[in-house]
Structure 1
Amino acid sequence: MSSPRLSLPRQAHLGLAVGVVYGLVCRLLFNTKGYPSEGLNKELWAIMSLSFTFLVPMALGFLVIWFGESEKSWVRRVFQPWLAGIAFMVAAIAFHLEGAICVYVWLPLVWFMSSLGGLLAGALRDARASDGSKRLCVAAVALLPFAAGPLESLRERETEIRTAHTSIEIAASPAQVWRQIRSVPRITEAEHGPSWSHRLGFPRPTEAVLEGTGVGSVRYARFEGDVLFVEKVTEWEENKRLSFSIAADTKNIPPTTFDEHVTIGGPYFDVLHGTYWIEALGPDRVVLHLSSDQRLSTGFNFYSQWWTVWLMNDLQSYILRIIKARAERDR
C-alpha cells in the first residue's frame, strides 16, 4: 500500500496518532468484565485476556510503523511504537480507563509487544507483495485482537496458587518478636518508609488488632484506603508460629483504593493464607519469616505471577522492617 508523501515529522505523527487512537478504541471496546455470550457464561473481549494485553499492543506498534514510517530504520521500528504505547497509557489514565498499578505492570509488556508489531510492520513494508495483499494484512492485524477474544473465551481461565516468602534477622528474643506479630499497634507516620509497592499505588499497612487468643481467634489487619483483611488464626505456637486464613472485606473497600483489575478478593487476584514463624538463632537473635499464598486467575498467569510475587515480597519486607524496628527498640 503506497504511503502519503509527508515529511518525516508529520509522517511519524500520523503513525503515533493512529496507534494511540487504536489503543483507546480497543480499551473502550474491551470491557473490564467482558461481554457475556448468550448461553455460554463466557467473557468475550475481556480486559484481563491475552487478546487484549498481548495482541492490542502488538497491533498498536504495527500500525504506528505502517502509517508512520517514511524511510526504513530498524531502530525506529523497535522504539517508535514505545512513544505511542506511553501516550496511550497516559491517555487511559487521564480518561480514567486504567489506574496507575495496571499501567506500571503492563508497561514492559506493551513495550515488548509493540516493538514486535513494529518489526512485523517493517517486514511487511519490505516484502515483495501486492498492495492489495499488504492492505489485507494490515486489516487482519488490526482486527486480530477482536477475532482472538471469542476464541480465547472458549478456554477455561486457569487458577494458580503462588507463594511469596520473605525473612529478616532481628536482634531480639522470640518472645519480644512474638508480641509484635500477634497484634500490630497503629503504625505512625514516622515509622513508615519508602516502598516500591506503595509507590505503585498499593495502600500502606496501618494496624492489626487481635481478638481472642489461640486457634480460632481473629486478627483484623487494616491498610490505608479503608482496606480490611479478616484473618482467622489456624495455627498458634506461642513464640514460634502464627498462621491465618485471609479474607478481604471486599464489600467495604472503596472502588478508588485499587484498580478494579487487581482488587484483592476479586475475580483475578486474592490473598488466601499467611504465616509468620520465628527461627531462633540465640537468646536475643532470631530470623522472622513471613509467607503468603496468592490466587491468580488471569488469562496470562505466566506473566502476572512475576509481578504478583515481586509486589508481595516488597510489601512483606516492608512489614518485616517495621516489626524489626519495634522489636529491637523495645528490648
Structure 2
Amino acid sequence: MDQAEAQLRTAKIRIAAACIFGLAFALGVYLLIEAVNPSGLISFTFLLILPAVVTAFVTYVGDPLARRPRGFYTGSVPTALFGAVVLASLIALREGGICILMLSPFWFALSALGGYLTWRLRRREEPVENVFRASTLLLVPLVAMQVEPMIPLARDTGNITRSVIIDADPATIWRHARAADHIRPGEGRWTVSQDIIGLPRPTGAQLDRQGYGATRQVQWQDGIRFQEVVTDWQPGRRLWWEFRFDATDLDAWAMQDRHLLPDSPHYRITDGGYVLTPLPDGRTRLTLTTHYWVQTPVNWYARLWGELLIGDVSANVLAVIRDRSERRPRTA
C-alpha cells in the first residue's frame, strides 16, 4: 500500500468515526430531551442548533488538513448524515413519518449551513489536527438546552377554511353535515396528506342528540377518536363545536406520531364548524372552518403544515358531504 492509498484509507476511517460519534451524540441529546420533556423536540436546540453543530463537528474532524472542497461540507456530509438520521428515526426510534417529513427541511438546511460555516471560518492555510477544538462545538446544544426554557415563545392563533358548492338545499346538506355514519375508504377526495403522507381518514361522526350541548363522536382510521361539543346549533345555517381530547383519545393519536398531538403545549385545535350559505341559483355553499393556536420556535412553519394537513382533512370531509347530499358519485 503506497502513501496515497494509506492517506485515503485513514481519511475514510476518520470520516466514518466522526459520523458515528456525531450521530451517537445527536441520539444522546434526543434521548435527554425526551426524558426531560417529551415535547422538547419542538425547540431551537433540536430543530436548528443540533443539526448544524453535528455537521460542523463531522466536517471539521473529517478534513483535518482543510483540503476538501466546499461540496464535502455542504453536500456530501449533510446528505449522509441526513439519510442516517432518517433511517435511525424510522427504524430505531420508531418516529412517525409525518414528524420526520416536517423536521426534514430544517435538519437538512441547518446541517448544510453548519458545514458551510465551518468551511468558511476555518483558516485554510493552517492545518488543524486538534480534535479537541472540534469537540468543543458539541457543548453548544448542551448549553442551549439550559438557556432555551428561559426564552418565552409567542403564541399565534390561526384558522383554516375550506368550502364547497353543493347542488342541494341547506336542509338536505344539514342532515349530512351534522352527522356522517360509515364513511367508506373510497368516499371523499384524493389529498396529499391522506393519500401520500398517510394521515388517517375520517370514518364517521355520530351525534348523541340534537341542539346546544350535544356531542359529536368522531372516528378516524387507526382507532383515532375525539369529541366535538356543540356550542352553536342553527339548523340549515350554522353548526359550531369545541374540540375535546381525553387521555384515551390522545393515546391513539400518539400511535400515529407522539410529537403531533392535537392538544399539546405547543399547538392545540380549539374549535370549528360549518356555515351554510344559500346561493341565488338554488345551490348552497358549505364552509368548514377550524381554529387553532401554535406556540413553537417556528410558528410560521407550523402554520404552513396546519394549512396542508387540516386543510386536506377539511376538503375530504366536505367532499363526502357534497357527494351524499347530491346523491350521486363524483370524483374530485
Q: Fold match, TM over 0.5? A: yes
Whether contact under 8 Å (2:250, 2:261) holds in the other structure is no
Amino acid at match of 1:266: S
Normalising to structure 2: TM-score of the pair?
Answer: 0.85
When residues 123 and 204 of structure 1 are mapped into structure 2, their CA distance, relative to the original with a 3 A threshold, is: same
> Helix, strand or coil for the counterpart of 1:282?
coil
Q: 1:176 & 1:25 partners in 2: Cα distance?
A: 57
> Helix, strand or coil for the counterpart of 1:190?
coil
Whether contact under 8 Å (2:188, 2:319) holds in the other structure is no
- Structure 1 partner of 2:244: 247
Q: 2:112 & 2:282 partners in 1: Cα distance?
A: 54
Q: 2:300 & 2:142 partners in 1: Cα distance?
A: 22
When residues 320 and 306 of structure 1 are mapped into structure 2, their CA distance, relative to the original with a 3 A threshold, is: same
Deviations 1:224-258 (A, max 9, x none): 22222211111122212111111123324435533
Q: 1:58 & 1:297 partners in 2: Cα distance?
A: 23
> Helix, strand or coil for the counterpart of 1:323?
helix
Q: 1:168 & 1:109 partners in 2: Cα distance?
A: 34
User: Which of residues 55, 60, 65 is equivalent to 1:66?
Assistant: 60
- Structure 2 partner of 1:38: none
- Structure 2 partner of 1:40: none
> Helix, strand or coil for the counterpart of 2:34?
coil
Deviates more, 1:57-66 or 1:250-259: 250-259
Q: 2:149 & 2:295 partners in 1: Cα distance?
A: 14
Whether contact under 8 Å (1:32, 1:261) holds in the other structure is no
Q: Which runs of 5+ in 2 are unaligned?
A: 1-5
Q: Identify, as 1 or 2, the structure richer in helix.
A: 2
Shift of residue 128, structure 1, vs aligned partner: 5.5
Amino acid at match of 1:245: E
> Helix, strand or coil for the counterpart of 1:271?
strand
Deviates more, 1:198-207 or 1:319-328: 198-207
- Structure 1 partner of 2:122: 125
Number of equivalenced pairs = 318
Q: Following superposition of structure 1 onto structure 2, how do residues 78-97 of structure 1 map, counting pairs within 5 Å?
A: 78-80=74-76, 81-96=78-93
- Structure 1 partner of 2:294: 296
User: Which of residues 209, 212, 220 is equivalent to 2:209?
Assistant: 212
Q: Does 1:258 align with 2:256?
A: yes
User: Which of residues 267, 270, 275 is equivalent to 1:269?
Assistant: 267
User: Which of residues 138, 159, 164 is equivalent to 1:163?
Assistant: 159
User: Which of residues 312, 322, 326 is equivalent to 2:320?
Assistant: 322
- Structure 1 partner of 2:3: none
Whether contact under 8 Å (2:67, 2:124) holds in the other structure is no
Deviations 1:102-151 (A, max 9, x none): 1010001111100101101212334556848x756523422211101111
CA RMSD of aligned residues (A): 2.8
> Helix, strand or coil for the counterpart of 1:142?
helix
Whether contact under 8 Å (2:203, 2:221) holds in the other structure is yes
- Structure 1 partner of 2:137: 141
Shift of residue 13, structure 1, vs aligned partner: 4.1
- Structure 1 partner of 2:172: 176
Whether contact under 8 Å (1:166, 1:316) holds in the other structure is yes
Whether contact under 8 Å (1:226, 1:254) holds in the other structure is no
Whether contact under 8 Å (1:206, 1:223) holds in the other structure is yes
- Structure 1 partner of 2:113: 116
> Helix, strand or coil for the counterpart of 2:222?
coil
Identity of aligned residues (%): 25
Whether contact under 8 Å (1:177, 1:239) holds in the other structure is yes
Whether contact under 8 Å (1:273, 1:292) holds in the other structure is yes
